[in-house]
Amino acid sequence: MLNSEIKTTIQTAYSAFLKGKQLNARLGQRLMIAEIANTLGSIEQDDSGKRTSDPAVCVIEAGTGTGKTVGYCLASIPVAKAMDKTLVIATATVALQEQIINKDLPEISQHSGLNFSIGLAKGRRRYLCLQKLNFLLQSTQSASATMALFHDGDFAIDLDKDAQKLYEEMLGDIASSRWSGDRDSWPVAVDDEQWQQLTVTHAQCSGRRCPHFSNCSFYQARGTLDNVDVIVANHDLVLSDLMLGGGAVLPPPKDCIYIFDEGHHLPDKAIGHFACETRLADMGLWLEHSTRQLKKMVEQHSFPDNIGGWFERLSGKYKELISDQTLMREALMSAAEFRLEEETEFGRVLLYRFPRGVIPEALRELAGRLKVGFNASVDLADRIVTELKSAMNDEVAGVDRQHAEQMFPVVGMMLSRLQNTLSLWEFWSIVDPEGEPPLTRWLRWTEYRGNQELVVSSSLILAGKLLKQHLWNTAYGVVVTSATLTALGEFDRYRMRAGLPEDANCQKVPSPFSHGDAAVLSVPRLLADPSDAKKHTEEIIEQLPALIGKVKGALVLFSSRRQMHDVHCGLIDEWRDRVMLQDDYTKQELIRLHKKTIDEGGCSVIFGLASLAEGIDLPGVYCEHVIIAKIPFSVPDDPVGAALSEWVESRGGNPFMEITVPDAAIRLVQASGRLLRCENDTGRITVMDRRLVTRRYGQTLLNSMPAYRREIA
């Protein structure tokens, strides 16, 4: 149970924060603090601080206005400090990450009386590599020779004057301590292509053996995280660290309490981390090029017999893999029954998904052969990498240290790519366990401007087993929170997708908003069913001017890009001039211009797609009306969604009611949530889809939304 000392600390901090900010206590926020504190406070540990009780997982759905950041910080920071653990806060979007690090945590520190330090964790590719920068600034001939080791293609680096000047400025600012090497702190935006020349992957980094290690921007930033109380990161970085076993960038999971804000994204993020693909034509070219690279290394440098033998054997394996891949490509093209997925003036994409993820035995045997070949290649490349690392410490006779430093990045990159491709063929060569969700396996044949490629892919369809292994069972404690974790009023959907422990504490806390007083949910009279896209679009064009005519700011959300553009084109000039299309701007610029127009006394309407249904903040007059073109059903024709539906159906379930309707319910809540951002906000939500009142599932969807006042025509 939560001991009295921690409980008092939390209560005192909350009272001080409310007083300092001149706020009133919110019921939902108080309940959130209590549930998180009780869950984390009930953890049992041994004398070494290791958790000995069952996984401690608290899942909280808290709507907009609850004050989630304050709630989970005030509950978890005292517990983390008392238990000598690091609190890791992970967000799904950069906007929320910046808000937490620049606004929320400083305010909590200032007003709560809690004393804690803060750090920001970023991935390696956000930091400059001094080794690469120095190589780039060598003479053109030297840089070309050296940089060839860092790239997959046969080309030379020829720096233009602008790049040369930029890199010299960067080196000067690092040398004079005016810049840390962090891309986000460079005073002007850096072109992606220029920045990529300056960074390395985990596989290319030699770590402590690098001559620039003591001045490395990434490792200096990472070192500061060892002594902070609260680390702010993103979902991707935390998941990457967990998949590496933990402790690669962040502290070990057993010493961390994780907070996943915007936690409804977590299962899909986890699935994405274990998705694998290989492009057969591209991989064939890479293997041929890598064979030439290995030959050049052997010709240009002398190696001890064992290392030289590994180079020779690895080159031989590459030749075998090229042959095996050719056989696999021919077999896949014969087995696949492709359907058209996409077609443009530049080419087309064909898709074939193996039903139930089951591939024919002959293909599985070929995949097993490729698995064996890539596994042997990984072993050889790993041996070479290990020796090169030792050679960089002058620990290997017969290998020059400088040559080892030059060769390490290219062999390290080889190892990384070999490992990734090995994972793909491992997934293709196994038979899925009976009774468990299968892997989905699919092919894409792409034709673009005359070039053809066969892409081979695989993915999990549910993240539960993965998260159980790497997160729930290994972390000291975990909190997941979001405004949309339940579907149709229950946590069942999230439990299935995230594989939550059976005794996870799942709670929904009340919103501070009086939805019935603040907003109206309207379903107008329409003659067209959304399945008739042409007539439905015509009715939206006809009714839209009356809907947006009396408001300063409005947001119109579409499920189809085609319909969004058709509606925009169908409006007369007077109304079309008010509209800004999401496709025409970055999200930040779209919101900036929208607010600027309204601030200057004008009216503005944003036309957007699903990505604007969450993660944007338009309080007050910036959004007085949210218009949803139709129920945001997803069509489960992507390989992962289709495979999940197929699996549910094979178990006697109804994919439409168990997946499609709950997913649509969450999207409706997210979309309608764009209206009320502050307690004083008011306005309307209009859904241009009569299926909400004419279909049996419509009432279920309506009841899943907040208690807005309803106007059904």
User: Which of these, 565, 622, 563, lies nearest to 590 by C-alpha position?
Assistant: 622
Residue 214 falls inside a structural domain: no
Q: What percent of the chain is predicted at pLDDT more than 70?
A: 97
614 and 468 within one domain = no
| Total length of the chain | 713
Cα separation, 92 vs 638, whole angstroms: 22
Read off the pLDDT band of 231 (50, 70, 90): very high
Read off the tokens for 499: 């594989």
Interval 396-418 mean pLDDT? 85
Give the sheet arrangement for strand 709-712, strand by strand: 579-581, 604-608, 553-557, 625-628, 683-687, 519-523, 709-712
Cα separation, 699 vs 54, whole angstroms: 39
Residue 537 to residues 157, 566, 613, 630, 634, Cα–Cα distance (Å): 52, 7, 20, 10, 19
Cα separation, 427 vs 440, whole angstroms: 9
pLDDT at res. 2? 81
Residue 658 falls inside a structural domain: yes
562 and 651 within one domain = yes
Read off the pLDDT band of 264 (50, 70, 90): very high
pLDDT at res. 635? 76
Q: How many domains does the chain have?
A: 4
Cα separation, 286 vs 295, whole angstroms: 14
DSSP 42-91: T--B-TTS-B-SS--EEEEEE-TTS-HHHHHHHHHHHHHHHTT-EEEEEE
User: Which of these, 54, 28, 57, lies nearest to 40 by C-alpha position?
Assistant: 57
Cα separation, 431 vs 103, whole angstroms: 50
Rounded (10°) angle between helices 401-429 and 280-300: 150
Residue 123 falls inside a structural domain: no
Interval 194-198 mean pLDDT? 87
Residue 394 falls inside a structural domain: yes
707 and 660 within one domain = yes
Cα separation, 187 vs 656, whole angstroms: 50
Interval 570-575 mean pLDDT? 93
287 and 386 within one domain = yes
Give the residue carrying structure tokens 């509950």: 75
What digits encode the pLDDT tens for the residues 644-669? 999 999 999 999 999 999 999 999 99
Interval 459-481 mean pLDDT? 96
What digits encode the pLDDT tens for the residues 73-111? 999 999 999 999 999 999 998 778 889 999 999 999 999
- Sequence-distant (≥ 6) Cβ neighbours of residue 115 within 8 angstroms: 109
Compute, in degrees rounded to 10, the torsion defined by CA atoms 447, 450, 454, 460: -40
Residue 54 falls inside a structural domain: yes
Beta bridge partners of 87: 230, 257
DSSP 374-401: HHHHHHHHHHHHHHHHHHTTT-STTS-H
For every residue of 2-32, which 3-state class applies, written as one string? Answer: CCHHHHHHHHHHHHHHHHHHCCCCCHHHHHH
Is the pLDDT at 139 greater than 70, yes or no? no
Mean pLDDT in the chain? 91
Interval 267-272 mean pLDDT? 94
Q: Report which DSSP code applies to 182.
A: B
Q: Which domain holds residue 671?
A: 515-712
682 and 595 within one domain = yes
What digits encode the pLDDT tens for the residues 273-317? 889 999 999 999 999 999 999 998 888 888 888 888 999 999 999
Report which residue type is found at 280: L
377 and 248 within one domain = no
Cα separation, 468 vs 147, whole angstroms: 42
Read off the tokens for 5: 């000392």
Give the sheet arrangement for strand 440-448, strand by strand: 276-279, 451-459, 440-448, 347-353, 339-344
Cα separation, 368 vs 370, whole angstroms: 5
58 and 89 within one domain = yes
Q: What is the CATH number of the domain that holds 80?
A: 3.40.50.300
Read off the pLDDT band of 140 (50, 70, 90): very low
What is the separation of C-alpha 310 from the centre of its chain, rounded to a whole number of angstroms? 38
What digits encode the pLDDT tens for the residues 17-52? 999 999 999 999 999 999 999 999 999 999 999 999
Interval 335-344 mean pLDDT? 91
- From first CA to last CA, the distance across the chain in angstroms is 53
| 3-state percent breakdown (helix, strand, coil) of the chain, nearest 5 | 55, 15, 30
Residue 88 falls inside a structural domain: yes
636 and 526 within one domain = yes
Read off the tokens for 711: 């106007």
Contact 183/197 with Cβ under 8 angstroms? no
Report which residue type is found at 515: H
What digits encode the pLDDT tens for the residues 528-538? 999 999 999 99
List, in sequence order, every beta strand (DSSP E) within 637-703: 683-687
Is the pLDDT at 147 greater than 80, yes or no? no
List, in sequence order, the alpha helices (H) in 100-197: 105-112, 130-136, 140-147, 161-175, 192-196
Read off the pLDDT band of 159 (50, 70, 90): low
What stretch of H or E contains 710? strand 709-712
Cα separation, 123 vs 248, whole angstroms: 11
What digits encode the pLDDT tens for the residues 305-326? 888 899 999 999 999 999 999 9
* Sign of the C-alpha dihedral computed for residues 213, 214, 217 and 218 taken in this order: positive
173 and 84 within one domain = no
Cα separation, 355 vs 360, whole angstroms: 11
Residue 163 falls inside a structural domain: yes
536 and 393 within one domain = no
User: ∠ CA 274-278-283 to the nearest 5 degrees?
Assistant: 145
Cα separation, 512 vs 64, whole angstroms: 8
Read off the pLDDT band of 221 (50, 70, 90): confident
Higher pLDDT, residue 85 or 396: 85
Is the pLDDT at 156 greater than 60, yes or no? no
What digits encode the pLDDT tens for the residues 509-532? 999 999 999 999 999 999 999 999
97 and 134 within one domain = no
Cα separation, 531 vs 563, whole angstroms: 12
DSSP 299-351: HHS---HHHHHHHHHHHHHHHHHHHHHHHHHHHHHHH---EEEEEETTEEEEE
**End residue of a domain, out of 417, 434, 459:** 459
535 and 397 within one domain = no
Residue 212 falls inside a structural domain: no
Cα separation, 239 vs 500, whole angstroms: 16
List, in sequence order, every beta strand (DSSP E) within 558-708: 579-581, 604-608, 625-628, 683-687
pLDDT at res. 1? 63
Is the pLDDT at 150 greater than 50, yes or no? no
Read off the pLDDT band of 460 (50, 70, 90): very high
**End residue of a domain, out of 509, 538, 568:** 509
Interval 437-449 mean pLDDT? 94
Q: Strand, coil or helix: what is 612?
A: helix
Half-sphere exposure of 154 (CA within 13 A, CB side): 10
